[in-house]
Structure 1
Amino acid sequence: MSAAELDALLGDAWDDRNPVGHTAVLAADERQDMLAEGERALDEYRLNAEFVPVAYGGRLERADRLAEVLRTVWRRDPSLGLGYGFSSLIASVNIWTTGDEEQRRRAAGLLLANGRIAAAFHELAHGNDFAHAECAAHPDGTGWRLSGRKEIVTNVRRAEAMVLFARTGPGAGSRSHSQFLLTRDDLPAGALRDLSRFHSSGMRGVQLGGVEFTDCPVPGDALIGSPGQGIEVALRSYQITRSVGPAVIVGPLDTALRLAVRCSLDRRVYGGAVADLPYVRAVIARAYADLLAMDAFSAVILRALHLEPESMAVYAPAAKYLTARILLDAFEDLRAVLGARSYLRQGPYAMFQKLARDVAPATFAHVSLSAALVTLLPQLPRLARRSWLADPSATPSLFDPAGDLPALSLERLSTGMPRHDGVIGALTELADGVPAGDSDPVRRFAARCRDELRKLRDGCAALGPADLTIDASPAAFALADRYTAVLAAASVLAVWQECGTRYPEAALLGALDRLTGRMGGPPVLTSAEREDMERRLFDLAVARCLDGRLLDLSARSIPR
């Protein structure tokens, strides 16, 4: 099964008669329900098989394939994407990385039977600060006794099982918590109580609930890994989901751009189409450039899971942070095209307001943007002193989105600090000897990014211990922010260097223009170059939409 086959199964999203089209998606959102027909279609496709390694009967072998399939669902309905699938992925990766053979077989059997596994990590009092989680499990002979609450958990009432994060030691630090695989049928009645549903403004169809445990007996074989290993397991596992997520959220932006293009072509103002206005064309072109930057960056990160797994402790949070920022900004920019229609819950463009509400929680769920930067900060001084401007480029295959990959090797993921940064190494090689005033705009972008890297290296090398924690100064957070933009620009440059003949030059210039704009300073393109690039990008976006093709780098045909 492929993403194209899933698209065919879901059908034309714009057909009002389609039970999983936009009209049906919006109706389910108004009811605050999951799209039942969508869940049935994903059952038929056996979407859960995408989350199960091949060794256990599933299809999980390549991270880029997983992301492409999930992007197909999220392009249709982010609530369906999270509520049906992504929540089970977040939970199950902890089992694949650390669980024993029996736990893996149980999880695989449950998922392959279209079941659900909830990730019961969150507590309202502590948010993403898992080290202070209070839900506790105490040793009790051969097993454990569990007491406490978990809140804002996707599908916890509907799930047959959950991966639960609990305190198992009294002290502070990273060795005081553990993870457990719990199956509802194995817990005694009365020891677990479901809390009321938490309603939300975005992802309204997702069933957000909570559970409360009261002296609940837990079998000893429910423990994932060793006691006190909970945070370590999460940090390794989340490198997968925080790499897949940035690629997945390209899907909602693709649909939002289609809505903006349709509105600009259909709506009449000042005696002509909205698309006749230069400002509107520029907004659409820039949002399209943002999508292409996200797609190229996330493609490199997904391939790094296979080819550079030792670097994922840096690459995964960097991708999570920057793509979320780009996504939110692009949606706000596109509101200028739709105007008041961007808030309407009825009519041909009503899908935009749903997508805008849905992507907001998607960008901070699992880890907030500030938490992603905090994860990066301690690693930047070491890379600045030992790697940047010194390391060689990563293997060229890292930068070919269509290239072959070895099977995903979860045991190579590490929570340690990476020693090398091969993506930045690619930038160093591409910009070697290029003067800042080169006549070629691509070479000018490379020189600009190299110069930004030099400043970034000096700033990060000077960071002290006080600037490597949640209490870091705003200036330290700004350095981490700039690193993500440089990393993304290096990825884009290297992708085009490796296989740019497949992609339009305007896409490269647009993506680099948007990313260097996030670094500050004067623009790299002249006014005439930018105007020409944006004209070509707008025309490309319109052509892709009218031809029924995706707006991402694949340009794959979809039902229409």
Structure 2
Amino acid sequence: MRDDHAERFPAEALATLDAWGYRALQVPEEYGGRLTSLEELSAIGRVVAGRDPAVTLIANSPLGAAMPVWLAGSTAQRRAVADAVLGGAWVALGITERAHGADLLASETTVRRDGDGYLVDGEKWLINNAGRARYVCLLARHPDRTGMRSLSFVLMDLAALPPTAYTVLPRITTHGMRAAQIAGIRFHGARVPAGALIGRPGSGLELAAAALAITRTLVPALSLGVLETALRCCTAFLRDRRLYGGAATDIPYVREELAAALVDLRAAEAVARACVRAPHLLPDLVPVTSAVTKYLVPRTVEDRMRQLAVVLGSRSYLREGHWSGLFEKLRRDVTLFGLFDGSEPVVLSALTAQASCLDAPADPRRADALFTPEAVTGPLFGHATGPFAEDDPVTAGTAEACAALARHTADPVLTGAAGALRAAGERVRAEAADALDPRSLAGQQFADRYARLFAATCVARTALAAGETPPWLGPGLLALLEPGRRMPRERAAALWDDVLAHTATGSGARAGTGTAEHPAAPAAALARGGEAR
């Protein structure tokens, strides 16, 4: 909180993570790191995010920024970046420009052939760690090319450039993530060797799409740590808050809202986990899974944070007091997870473009591995991911999942959710046959329904794969399919003990020297996460 108030780079927190070995998770195992599983990284990163979202944003930036190198870089480029990151250096990603935003083809930064090398000119904007980076993966335009093949990524080694070749622009102030160092970089005829291009000349646009698909998969899972801490923060305060002759948590509305937050957390966990396994197990579906999780998980977290703020009342607005005013910071910071690597309209447009995959026949068994309890590891960047998914084996199993859920007649909420899921599947498949403009309102609305169908199917198939139908499952499915619908009061009351158990023992729970005002550091949780594989 002191770093946040001072808008100060969180050097102490990052040094603690470095000492634990977090940097090794930013480099694939074959290049000297210990990254073998995005699922493992997201689980550990979520613990860090629960302590400070700004720290997790910075700590995971070397992997995300260097993604073009891991996907298409030469062996020499990969080794150079790996050695730098493991040695304590930072990597930055320069894609967007102030005047063009997500319109990458309008990029004005250029890379021109000059003898046996290239000259780079232009400015990139909104770059995390801009002033601290050793390497920048820069998207630039070839002036002699037009269209889809006019862009390339260039690996800029700032340590090898003269000081006159580039300027780090003044830091940009933000509402949240105040400890992060976000700025821009301008290059002035910076000369780089021919080997600085990443991948084939002209492959920048497809490489950017592939890189963003991976980071859009990882970032949403980190936001779950924010909701988890917010739920603990609110529950701890409200259990001690005396109102109307009893604890605030004796009020039915308060219990219902806290139970709804736990339901949202559980459902979003299942969605994020299934999608973060896709790059390992079903890379051809990543164009869909990355868009679904990037849109729906941060949105679920943000919506629930707003409701928790209502329950917490004035304490949600204070920068001091209960847990040092942490909730106010969490609520500010969490909004960046939804903006990072593509805002909602951008991601929904990308998902609408995948609609044709719903028309193709698909074997639902092909997606079974996304939902099994066993952890996954394996090559991350050896699979070619195309721009479009050929089919959708996840929602191909929707009807089967609905039939299995409907057999649980002892739980009327669950059987009702099964019916809602079946109806959603029928509607989305019927709409997918229409030609939809991804940028139109109708296209965006279709993408929202498709994302909710896909996510709810992930939740259902995950529960069925584990052989469990917990009491939160029905409300969790309905919350995804029919946002804003309140769960039955009796179900919320039945979930109250689960809320108390989770807020007492969740990852990063108070232990050791922690107090109600200051939760202890998550060293034990980090250690457990590090041993997960």
TM-score between both structures, scaled by the size of structure 1: 0.87
The answer to whether the 8 A contact 2:255-2:492 is kept is: yes
The answer to whether the 8 A contact 1:46-1:112 is kept is: no
Does residue 431 in structure 1 map to residue 402 in structure 2? yes
For residues 492-531 of structure 1, the C-alpha deviation after alignment (integer angstroms, 9 at most, x for no partner) is 1111101144xx712322311311223x8xx7x9x7xx22
The answer to whether the 8 A contact 1:34-1:79 is kept is: no
Q: Partners of 1:434 and 1:328 in 2: how far apart?
A: 29
1:190 maps to what in 2? Answer: 164
Give the C-alpha shift of residue 207 in structure 1: 0.5
The answer to whether the 8 A contact 2:209-2:387 is kept is: no
Aligned CA distance change for structure 1 residues 170 and 432 (closer, same or farther; 3 Å) = farther
Q: Give the secondary-structure state (helix, strand or coil) at the position aligned to 1:421.
A: coil
Does residue 397 in structure 1 map to residue 369 in structure 2? yes
1:495 maps to what in 2? Answer: 462
2:472 maps to what in 1? Answer: 507
Does residue 244 in structure 1 map to residue 218 in structure 2? yes
For residues 62-102 of structure 1, the C-alpha deviation after alignment (integer angstroms, 9 at most, x for no partner) is 1101111211111110111112x222221112111100000
Give the C-alpha shift of residue 208 in structure 1: 0.8
User: What amino acid is aligned across from residue 58 of structure 1 in structure 2?
Assistant: G
Q: Give the secondary-structure state (helix, strand or coil) at the position aligned to 1:213.
A: strand
Which of 428, 444, 447 aligns to 1:456? It is 428
Which of 382, 390, 405 aligns to 1:411? It is 382
1:14 maps to what in 2? Answer: none
Listed as ranges, the matches of 1:70-85 within 5 Å are 70-83=45-58, 85=59
User: What amino acid is aligned across from residue 121 of structure 2 in structure 1?
Assistant: S
Backbone CA RMSD of aligned residues? 2.2
Give the C-alpha shift of residue 383 in structure 1: 2.3
Does residue 286 in structure 1 map to residue 271 in structure 2? no
The answer to whether the 8 A contact 1:134-1:167 is kept is: yes
Give the C-alpha shift of residue 170 in structure 1: 4.7
Q: Give the secondary-structure state (helix, strand or coil) at the position aligned to 1:148.
A: strand
1:337 maps to what in 2? Answer: 311
Q: Give the secondary-structure state (helix, strand or coil) at the position aligned to 1:34.
A: coil
User: What amino acid is aligned across from residue 227 of structure 2 in structure 1?
Assistant: L
User: What amino acid is aligned across from residue 72 of structure 1 in structure 2?
Assistant: V
1:23 maps to what in 2? Answer: none
Give the C-alpha shift of residue 435 in structure 1: 7.1
Does residue 545 in structure 1 map to residue 503 in structure 2? yes
Q: Give the secondary-structure state (helix, strand or coil) at the position aligned to 1:505.
A: coil
Give the C-alpha shift of residue 457 in structure 1: 1.2
Q: Partners of 1:180 and 1:94 in 2: how far apart?
A: 9
Q: Partners of 2:260 and 2:252 in 1: how far apart?
A: 12
For residues 182-220 of structure 1, the C-alpha deviation after alignment (integer angstroms, 9 at most, x for no partner) is 111111221111111111110000001111111111211
Which of 482, 486, 498 aligns to 1:517? It is 482
Listed as ranges, the matches of 1:224-373 within 5 Å are 224-349=198-323, 350-373=325-348
Q: Partners of 1:100 and 1:459 in 2: how far apart?
A: 43
Q: Partners of 1:508 and 1:433 in 2: how far apart?
A: 13
User: What amino acid is aligned across from residue 418 of structure 1 in structure 2?
Assistant: A
Give the C-alpha shift of residue 337 in structure 1: 1.4
Give the C-alpha shift of residue 332 in structure 1: 0.3
Does residue 30 in structure 1 map to residue 33 in structure 2? no
For residues 359-416 of structure 1, the C-alpha deviation after alignment (integer angstroms, 9 at most, x for no partner) is 1122111111110011111211x123224xx64343433202x314240342324123
Q: Partners of 1:205 and 1:172 in 2: how far apart?
A: 39
Q: Give the secondary-structure state (helix, strand or coil) at the position aligned to 1:182.
A: strand
Q: Partners of 2:525 and 2:64 in 1: how far apart?
A: 28
Aligned CA distance change for structure 1 residues 279 and 56 (closer, same or farther; 3 Å) = same
Listed as ranges, the matches of 1:110-149 within 5 Å are 110-149=84-123
Q: Give the secondary-structure state (helix, strand or coil) at the position aligned to 1:489.
A: helix
Does residue 40 in structure 1 map to residue 15 in structure 2? yes
For residues 32-82 of structure 1, the C-alpha deviation after alignment (integer angstroms, 9 at most, x for no partner) is 012222011011022121121111011111110111121111111011111
The answer to whether the 8 A contact 2:402-2:422 is kept is: yes
Give the C-alpha shift of residue 172 in structure 1: 4.4
User: What amino acid is aligned across from residue 47 of structure 2 in structure 1?
Assistant: T
Does residue 531 in structure 1 map to residue 495 in structure 2? no
For residues 10-31 of structure 1, the C-alpha deviation after alignment (integer angstroms, 9 at most, x for no partner) is xxxxxxxxxxxxxxxx111010
Aligned CA distance change for structure 1 residues 372 and 34 (closer, same or farther; 3 Å) = same
Q: Partners of 1:434 and 1:70 in 2: how far apart?
A: 33
Give the C-alpha shift of residue 164 in structure 1: 0.8
Q: Partners of 1:174 and 1:48 in 2: how far apart?
A: 35
Q: Partners of 1:543 and 1:360 in 2: how far apart?
A: 28
Aligned CA distance change for structure 1 residues 54 and 328 (closer, same or farther; 3 Å) = same
The answer to whether the 8 A contact 2:358-2:391 is kept is: no
Q: Partners of 1:408 and 1:362 in 2: how far apart?
A: 26
Q: Give the secondary-structure state (helix, strand or coil) at the position aligned to 1:249.
A: helix
1:22 maps to what in 2? Answer: none
Does residue 483 in structure 1 map to residue 450 in structure 2? yes
Worse-matched range after superposition: 541-550 or 428-437: 428-437
For residues 432-463 of structure 1, the C-alpha deviation after alignment (integer angstroms, 9 at most, x for no partner) is 4987996644343223212111111111211x
2:26 maps to what in 1? Answer: 51
Give the C-alpha shift of residue 424 in structure 1: 0.7
Aligned CA distance change for structure 1 residues 301 and 379 (closer, same or farther; 3 Å) = same
Give the C-alpha shift of residue 279 in structure 1: 0.8
User: What amino acid is aligned across from residue 496 of structure 1 in structure 2?
Assistant: A
Q: Partners of 1:27 and 1:220 in 2: how far apart?
A: 45
Q: Partners of 1:242 and 1:420 in 2: how far apart?
A: 20
Percent identity among equivalent residues? 32
Q: Partners of 2:84 and 2:238 in 1: how far apart?
A: 46
2:519 maps to what in 1? Answer: none
